[in-house]
Structure formats: structure tokens, C-alpha cells
Structure 1
Amino acid sequence: MAIKTTQRLKRDTQGAALTEFALVAPVLILMIMGIFDMAHSSYTNSLMNGAIQKAARDLTLETGVVRQEDIDDRVINQVRNVVPATAKVELVKLSHFEFEDIGQEEEYTDTNGNGKCDGGEPYIDYNNNGQWDKDRGAEGIGGARDAVLYTVNVSYDRLLPMAYLAGLSDTINLSASTVLRNQPYAEQVVSVSQGNC
């Protein structure tokens, strides 16, 4: 009797599809969720780039100084339309005298040769904030003819769970930047000072 039952079970294929689906479903679900997650991140990044480009063009005008808060709010609102309400949205504006100054540290005399500005070493304070900085840009949109680096950073929890199964972080961090020169509505102001680290 046991041999007949074993042979009958060996020939019985009912439920095979269910077993196969149980093996394939987790991988399939993870792939679908991953595709949605990547698509949402890509869409958010594209939207951020478009919003930051438009905002930067508006800020380069002479009226950008007085409309700055309105322009920033417009960028934040556009980003908030596609990210969770708990998302952290940060706008960073750094003005530079020239395009080549962007991302450059403030110059200093490395008297002890350790590759760092320390121990009272003299430096040129390009942004006049009283301290040595790795980026010589001054906060804000600057003045006429200044090159401005405008960046939006967004951080939020993933919309779909299971990121840990794919070895991904639970948080998505996106950033978009653009650089434009302010309109020549006045003479460009040069103001640097010297200090010690």
C-alpha cells in the first residue's frame, strides 16, 4: 500500500504551479518593487534638475535678490509633490567670483607641510566668513556677474519596503546642481581678506 501511494504521488502534478510560484514570487516581487523604486528616484531626480535649472535662471536676474524666497519655495514645492511628506529638502547657494573658483578651497600657506590649514597658517578668506573653508564660495546668490552654484539635496525613506533584501539603504539621497553667472546689472564686487587658521 505504501509503495502504491508513493508511486501515485510521484505521478501527481497537481499543485506544481503553486510550488513553482512560491519559489519565483519573492524574486519577482523584489524585482518589481526595485523597478518602481528606481523609476521613482529617476523621476524625482529629473524633476529636481528641471526645477533647479529654472530657479537658477530666475535667480541670475537683478530681481532674483528680492524674489529669492519665492523662487526657493517654488523649487521645494515641486520636489515635495513627488516625495514623501517626511522628506528633507535642502537648498544650498554658493556664489563665486569666477567659474573656476567653484569647488576650490581657500588658498593657504602650508608652513608645516601637512597638507592642511592649521596651526595659525595664513589663508585668503575669499568668502569673508572669518574661517578657512574647503569651498571658497560665499553663502547666497552673490551680486552682479558672480558665478552661483545652486544645489538642491533631498533625503527620504524609500517608498517601498524590502530594500534591505537587496542590500540597499532604507534612505534615498538625491542631489541636483547647476551653475550660472548672474546678469551684469552692476559692477562685480571683489572683497577678500586674510586670516590665520
Structure 2
Amino acid sequence: MRELHANDRGVTIIEFALLAPVFLVMLVGTLDLGQMIYGNAVLNGAVESAARSSSLETGDITVADQMVEDQVSYVLPGVDVKSTRTSYYDFADIGRAEQWNDANGDGTCNNGEAYVDENGNNSWDEDIGVSGNGGANDVVIYTVKATYDPLFKVPFMPEAWAKRTLTSSAVRKNQPFADQTEYGSTAGTCD
């Protein structure tokens, strides 16, 4: 029995069998986290650059969106990039509802209450923003969502293999290349 106790042949393989899965999970998990952090940094930089170039009179939003997708796809292969732009007259209008006469005091335009259709879409909106890049001097919120499958699948954690979405936004005021278009003043009534 003493001979077996003193025999240490094969101990290395047992130690490896115990430590290898832990090391593998830590290694792949670190690579996965690194890809996500780097992808987010690249996305933020590309969105800032695209927002700046889109704020110029000569800015082409299609080219800017493609530039974002090109830069992000190097880090996140197979990424699906979706972008939106919402324009406002000035910074104070971000998130503001169209003006209305809240006769019943419920905080919603309804029951035939009168409103001013400031954004010209023939309906009352809780957010006065208009979809698109706006015009001269308009404030634009540019938001990009990048959805991707993680490149490094962490072993023993299939719930971490699901698609992930990174989001980045930039706010810019367009250059004053022309006179700014005022909000509309058409009256309407809410349903």
C-alpha cells in the first residue's frame, strides 16, 4: 500500500483534467468579452464619425451608414446593422410632445382635444421628432443597433451563445447651410 501512496505517475493528467475546463471557460469567456467591448468601441467611433459627416450640407447618409457597417463588420462578422435618424428644430424639442389642449387633464391627446400638427404628419405625436436627417440647423439623433452572433462560444454556457445587440447614439446639430424650416401650425383634433 505504501508503494501506491508514493507513486505519483499519472497525477499530471488528473490535474489537467480538473483545470483544463476551467481554464478553457475563462479563456474563451475573456475572448468573447473582449470582442464585445472592442465591437462596442468601434461602433461608437463609427457612429460619431458618421454623425459628423451627415451634419454637413454635402453629407450623404447612405454613405455614412455604409461606413458604419463596414467598420463594425471587421470586428463582428455577420453583423446586422440598423440605423435611425430623428430630427428636431432644436435641443429643447428632443422628447417633447406636440402642443395640445389637454381639456380633460389626462396627459394624452384624446377625445377630440385640439392639437397643433408641428411635424406635419397629420396626427398628434408624443415625440415631435421627424424621421430622417432633417435640414439646416436641425438637431439630429443618430442611433445604430448592431446585432451579431458571438464569435467565441463560451463552453458549457449555451445561453451566452444567443444573438447580442449593441446600440450607439450620437446627437449633432446640422450645419447652417440654409434657412431652418419652422414647425408647422396646422390644427387638428385627437381621436
Alignment TM class, shorter chain as reference: 0.7 to 0.9
Whole-Å Cα distance in 2 between the matches of residues 21 and 104 of structure 1? 61
Q: 1:127 to 1:23 in 2, by over 3 A?
A: farther
Q: Is the 8 A contact 2:89 2:183 kept in 1?
A: no
Gaps (5+ residues) in structure 1?
A: none
Instruction: Name the counterpart of 1:161.
Output: 153
* Aligned match of 1:141: 133
Name the counterpart of 2:167.
175
More off after superposition, 185-194 vs 101-110: 101-110
Q: Which residue of 1 aligns with 2:176?
A: 184
Taking a change above 3 Å as real, the CA distance of residues 109 and 53 of structure 1, as seen in their structure-2 partners, is same
CA deviation after TM superposition for structure 1 residue 36, in Å: 0.8
Query: How do 1:58-69 residues align onto structure 2 when only pairs under 5 Å count?
Result: 58-64=53-59, 67-69=60-62
What TM-score results when the alignment is normalised by the length of structure 1?
0.81
> How far did residue 103 of structure 1 move?
3.5
Structure 2 matches for 1:11-30, cutoff 5 A?
11-30=6-25
Indicate the larger mover: 95-104 or 32-41: 95-104
Deviations 1:42-63 (A, max 9, x none): 1111111111111111111111
CA RMSD of aligned residues (A): 2.6
TM-score (norm 2): 0.83
Matched, 1:74 2:97: no
Gaps of 5+ in 2: none
1:132 Cα shift?
4.3
**Equivalent position SS for 1:168:** helix
By how many angstroms is 1:181 displaced?
A: 0.3
- Taking a change above 3 Å as real, the CA distance of residues 182 and 114 of structure 1, as seen in their structure-2 partners, is same
